[in-house]
Structure 1
Amino acid sequence: MVLSRFGETSTSCASRRQGWRVAPTSAEELETFCQLRVAQERSARRASRLGSLHQE
Structure 2
Amino acid sequence: MPSPHEPLRPLWICRCDAQPWPCADARLALTREYAGNRVTLCVYLGMSLAEGSS
Q: Would you call these one fold, judging by a TM-score over 0.5?
A: no
Q: Which has the larger radius of gyration?
A: 1
Q: Which has the higher helix share?
A: 1
Under a length normalisation based on structure 2, what TM-score does the superposition of the two structures give? 0.42
Greater relative contact order (Cα < 8 A, sep 6+): 1
Using structure 1 for the length normalisation, give the TM-score.
0.41
